[in-house]
Structure 1
């Protein structure tokens, strides 16, 4: 069958190569249109409760991960030259397309009580008329510091650290325009930093996601170039033939183009996982080429005829390569059986393209070789390489004469791997794939030190009925108790809720007395009733257009059934985060009767944790599926349970050793490392099948089992 297939491929090589060229051109056109994904919640199934809760939150309260933060640490913040430049920076950032609003010290407002009208007016604390001189600025700064609302939100009074919050349009964050916006802001900040000679820190999910996505794009190019360069070097050293090297590189290049084209055809985008598919194509495609070319050279020596050698190449290596690619494809395609969209996309595209790589190799390699000159003796000299033969002889000796030693060493290695596996931890951080010296990482740590982090944590308190008002005094006190609990956690920054707005109003009602910054009691609410309606400020602007009222209006829904508590927290990792969330949930249950209230913890921090869980669990499921399906392939191929068991052992051992090495090396199991196991399994299966198929092909002609093993090792 395979010999006939080889003859058919050669007979119709021009047609097949033309079809391959046309298909590759089409795939190249599709590949040029593929885009990068900026979504970070797609690791979670769309029917997952956490995903649904997060989407409901976004629909009602808007995006939670669109805040970019800017931080400086200086004692000269209210020095007029610095403050004026900082205010200009804020104004310039506001003008950037996509920036919706900026919350910072120069834009801070206060509430002014007017006894004659019994209203509160919103007054800018740092209007131009109030900061004309250094003395006036000092006076405005004194009033600003008397407002506890801003303490630990816009500044840290203990360390002289100052924060600016930049809210970026949510729709824009899902497009490549985010790179332009973040780049523009970064350029302005760099210019400010140079002018003032002060280090400026930038962080927040918009910055982290944008820069990480950009790095993935750039590093993908370098990784591809590196893998191509290394493959070319190995091929040149091995075959000593430029044509063989270029032929192999052409195969994997076509495979890479097809992988990107497949992404776009299937409606997918480049993600952290799918970006790994092109290098996988290189890793799997190069061995295909080496095995085909090696068999071609061996057959040419035997037959001294190019056509016969090509037919034998397909006949002998076609079935081997097919089942190797099928098994490798299964190893990755099983991710498509998980419930995570991110893993499903990766599994579908990786599995399909690894399988397509076989057909590309089957058409391209024999077809092109048929037009080239027969290989010269120097191209086949590697077959007699003394160093290679010496190592093969050693492998032969070890496998046949030192089996007990090999078994003993394997057991010892597995024992060590078992200890290493006990040390293996499953933990992920949002930025843990960045070097500890990277500015993204160090800037994040600055905000964690000064403001307890920037990762969004959202809590929604629901009264379960539109008839039950969340703004009753009893509910106000409960919400404030939960806010105070959160504020007391060392890993959670200052929470914001409507209760903080009420405290702000109460302080203004009592003539700005700092001691009056507290939740209003029943008597306060009666006296403050008329003052709670915020009117136009002195400039005649509507209150809802002011940054303060705009901020506070986002914390209670229009029906007054739900209230939002928003906080930023440290990137504590997926191991500590569940414990923190559980403690918050327990405290919430103590404050809010679960039969009358529903308290939902959501936000990017929660979805990150849930996504990490699904990816890790998806790995476990996929490995089990892979072994089951590959076992069926092995059973069909060899029709022997004994060979099946023998073939599975060499695949299990590398996985156990990989897990052990990760444990000893301190490499945690996380979304960015789970694919190590799939790659390990794919390589192990590839080697196992090639060896066993070669062994099976020579059973009839080999004089003994030992002779067949020796021949297989050297083939």
Structure 2
């Protein structure tokens, strides 16, 4: 299928892209292949989980293997980066010591183990909250992604140290990236900005947030039934053809209940007149066809009775109903004397002759206009039909789509709140400080606000495929914050001055943060090449959020730590 083919191409693209970035970063084939082996193990676990639970490859589940690659590579980068920096520091202090590699591995696990654990927990929460929704597809996606993103921690923690213990010690060219002049100059500029231009940082951030809030008020919640299908897809082009020439094919069913058995046979002219009035009202809308109902059948029967004279196509009168009543009164299970027309008329009634349906087709007008149309039809039906004698119900795929879209969007909004709450609790447990909790959440809320604002300004609608971006991006972006703050906390134990702690944290985590952000951003950019609109939205919106999160965590977060900390000595 097309979805399975896209999954294969995205998986291949994410692996190749990750391999290229790793080679540029580490200049080592062994480090590259080790990292790829880790994420391949993660992908196999994800596919095995899907098979174990009996899940099929859907549009969302197809994204899990490339997501595992994109999210798993940062684990490898942080572990290897810490191993290389520790090895180089130990070798410079005590060159020739035989257990340098072992000590470097111990420091790597001790420093990065707890950090990677909480990073993977946060990322897993960002996906696992979809399992709390009542949508089967989202539940499957949340369960598989959440389990396997968390499992990446154990895969990385076991495979990387074991493999490094057997590999030769790093050569100088393998650790040369630690002294990359271009990156070091960027970190120096970030240091200067954090120390000397905090007011400017807050002012610019405030202006961007204000601009984004204006954009948020421009957001519109609207979805279409074939919203995310490629514009060249046969289903999409066929639908547009029918909308152009026949006003659409989306079904709307209206059930008219007379509230008593054989209600359609008692005073049928009155009931038919009301149904015909409702049908005329529906047909007056440019987005809808003239409905089909038992009334149309009676009109055709009347015309046929008068030798096909078109002037007699109309509602039966008191004289006509005498001979047309046979279509209402005969038993539906009587096998004799039934022609095709009789069967067709009876298909619009139930066996008790209490209910009849009115079938209309309409264009894919979007959830906003559809809601307005259904409200108009509902109000008109209350005007035409006495609620004491009739009950009118709107149903059909169009109504199901409207209710389903609203249901999923509300569920996704709840999942964002759950993700935010659970991640906040993890951060509070990790740092045991309300100040650090505030400093960790603010730099990750700002990118979400900016992304929502950009959506409003460029006209991206709120729909299921765009709402899920926020909890996913929050779970991944918080990874940068955790690594920065954990290193900040570790540096504080040395009793350094607050400014020096922030400076050291920027230089010790900045390089790995920049490289992992590049991997994540590039990995999600791949999804922009999908043929499905929802996958494209996930790609570019998540990439935008991660770009903003990288800036806020490397620029705004250090400034915030300096502003909220004590001048002489910062304590957690």
Matches within 5 A, 1:251-400: 251-304=38-91, 305-400=100-195
TM-superposed CA distance for 1:544, in Å, is: 6.4
Cα pair 1:650 1:684 within 8 Å, conserved: no
Q: Given the alignment, which residue of 281, 286, 301 partners 1:505?
A: 301
Matches within 5 A, 1:514-529: 514-529=310-325
Which structure shows the bigger proportion of residues in strand conformation? 1
TM-superposed CA distance for 1:531, in Å, is: 7.8
Cα pair 1:466 1:560 within 8 Å, conserved: yes
Separation in structure 2 between the aligned mates of residue 285 and residue 580 of structure 1, nearest angstrom: 47
Cα pair 2:327 2:346 within 8 Å, conserved: no
TM-superposed CA distance for 1:325, in Å, is: 1.1
Question: Aligned with 2:359: secondary structure?
Answer: strand
> TM-score, normalised to structure 1's length?
0.66
Q: What's the counterpart of residue 224 of structure 1?
A: 11
- Listed one character per residue, the Cα deviations across residues 542-571 of structure 1 (whole Å, up to 9, x for unaligned) are 88685x555544321222222122221111
Q: What's the counterpart of residue 483 of structure 1?
A: 279
TM-superposed CA distance for 1:612, in Å, is: 1.4
Question: Aligned with 1:461: secondary structure?
Answer: strand
TM-superposed CA distance for 1:265, in Å, is: 2.6
Using a 3 Å threshold, how does the CA distance of structure 1 residues 555 and 532 change in structure 2: closer, same or farther?
A: closer
Cα pair 2:64 2:145 within 8 Å, conserved: yes
TM-superposed CA distance for 1:486, in Å, is: 1.5
Matched, 1:601 2:394: yes
TM-superposed CA distance for 1:345, in Å, is: 2.9
Question: Aligned with 1:395: secondary structure?
Answer: helix
Matched, 1:657 2:453: no
Separation in structure 1 between the aligned mates of residue 269 and residue 50 of structure 2, nearest angstrom: 55
- Listed one character per residue, the Cα deviations across residues 559-611 of structure 1 (whole Å, up to 9, x for unaligned) are 22221222211111111111011111111112222233222211111111112
Q: What's the counterpart of residue 499 of structure 2?
A: 706
Question: Aligned with 1:585: secondary structure?
Answer: helix
Matched, 1:689 2:482: yes
TM-superposed CA distance for 1:513, in Å, is: 0.8
Matched, 1:238 2:31: no
Question: Aligned with 2:116: secondary structure?
Answer: helix
Using a 3 Å threshold, how does the CA distance of structure 1 residues 489 and 367 change in structure 2: closer, same or farther?
A: same
Using a 3 Å threshold, how does the CA distance of structure 1 residues 260 and 479 change in structure 2: closer, same or farther?
A: farther
Separation in structure 1 between the aligned mates of residue 465 and residue 371 of structure 2, nearest angstrom: 20
Question: Aligned with 1:673: secondary structure?
Answer: helix
- Listed one character per residue, the Cα deviations across residues 640-683 of structure 1 (whole Å, up to 9, x for unaligned) are 11111111101110110110111112111111111221232123
Cα pair 1:295 1:317 within 8 Å, conserved: yes
Higher mean alpha-carbon deviation, 348-357 vs 400-409, is at 348-357
Q: What's the counterpart of residue 34 of structure 2?
A: 247
Separation in structure 1 between the aligned mates of residue 442 and residue 159 of structure 2, nearest angstrom: 34
- Listed one character per residue, the Cα deviations across residues 1-34 of structure 1 (whole Å, up to 9, x for unaligned) are xxxxxxxxxxxxxxxxxxxxxxxxxxxxxxxxxx
Using a 3 Å threshold, how does the CA distance of structure 1 residues 241 and 552 change in structure 2: closer, same or farther?
A: farther
Cα pair 2:86 2:108 within 8 Å, conserved: yes
TM-superposed CA distance for 1:534, in Å, is: 10
- Listed one character per residue, the Cα deviations across residues 329-379 of structure 1 (whole Å, up to 9, x for unaligned) are 222222222333333333222222221111121122222222322222212
Using a 3 Å threshold, how does the CA distance of structure 1 residues 301 and 428 change in structure 2: closer, same or farther?
A: same
Separation in structure 2 between the aligned mates of residue 312 and residue 332 of structure 1, nearest angstrom: 30
Q: What's the counterpart of residue 420 of structure 2?
A: 627
Matched, 1:582 2:375: yes
TM-superposed CA distance for 1:447, in Å, is: 1.0
Using a 3 Å threshold, how does the CA distance of structure 1 residues 488 and 431 change in structure 2: closer, same or farther?
A: same
Using a 3 Å threshold, how does the CA distance of structure 1 residues 397 and 370 change in structure 2: closer, same or farther?
A: same
Separation in structure 2 between the aligned mates of residue 326 and residue 648 of structure 1, nearest angstrom: 16
Q: What's the counterpart of residue 216 of structure 2?
A: 421
Matches within 5 A, 1:197-216: 214-216=1-3
Question: Aligned with 1:520: secondary structure?
Answer: coil
Q: Given the alignment, which residue of 213, 217, 236 partners 1:441?
A: 236
Separation in structure 2 between the aligned mates of residue 234 and residue 437 of structure 1, nearest angstrom: 33
Q: What's the counterpart of residue 534 of structure 2?
A: none
Cα pair 1:478 1:591 within 8 Å, conserved: yes
Higher mean alpha-carbon deviation, 579-588 vs 272-281, is at 272-281
Cα pair 1:654 1:680 within 8 Å, conserved: no
Separation in structure 2 between the aligned mates of residue 349 and residue 594 of structure 1, nearest angstrom: 49
Cα pair 2:265 2:353 within 8 Å, conserved: yes
Separation in structure 2 between the aligned mates of residue 703 and residue 530 of structure 1, nearest angstrom: 97
- Listed one character per residue, the Cα deviations across residues 435-481 of structure 1 (whole Å, up to 9, x for unaligned) are 54555434322211110001111112222333534673322222222
Using a 3 Å threshold, how does the CA distance of structure 1 residues 499 and 638 change in structure 2: closer, same or farther?
A: same
Separation in structure 2 between the aligned mates of residue 396 and residue 656 of structure 1, nearest angstrom: 25
Cα pair 1:495 1:565 within 8 Å, conserved: yes
Separation in structure 1 between the aligned mates of residue 156 and residue 377 of structure 2, nearest angstrom: 57
Using a 3 Å threshold, how does the CA distance of structure 1 residues 321 and 545 change in structure 2: closer, same or farther?
A: farther
Matches within 5 A, 1:638-677: 638-677=431-470
Separation in structure 1 between the aligned mates of residue 350 and residue 194 of structure 2, nearest angstrom: 72
Separation in structure 2 between the aligned mates of residue 597 and residue 531 of structure 1, nearest angstrom: 22
Over the aligned positions, Cα root-mean-square deviation in angstroms equals 2.4
TM-superposed CA distance for 1:626, in Å, is: 1.7
Separation in structure 2 between the aligned mates of residue 646 and residue 475 of structure 1, nearest angstrom: 67
Matches within 5 A, 1:177-196: none
Separation in structure 2 between the aligned mates of residue 470 and residue 239 of structure 1, nearest angstrom: 83
Q: Given the alignment, which residue of 258, 269, 275 partners 1:473?
A: 269
Q: What's the counterpart of residue 550 of structure 2?
A: none
Using a 3 Å threshold, how does the CA distance of structure 1 residues 455 and 544 change in structure 2: closer, same or farther?
A: farther
Cα pair 2:126 2:476 within 8 Å, conserved: no
Question: Aligned with 2:366: secondary structure?
Answer: coil
Which structure shows the bigger proportion of residues in helix conformation? 2
Higher mean alpha-carbon deviation, 428-437 vs 382-391, is at 428-437
Cα pair 2:298 2:324 within 8 Å, conserved: no
Gaps of 5+ in 2: 92-99, 509-572
> TM-score, normalised to structure 2's length?
0.82
Separation in structure 2 between the aligned mates of residue 630 and residue 533 of structure 1, nearest angstrom: 65
Q: What's the counterpart of residue 614 of structure 1?
A: 407
Cα pair 1:509 1:528 within 8 Å, conserved: no
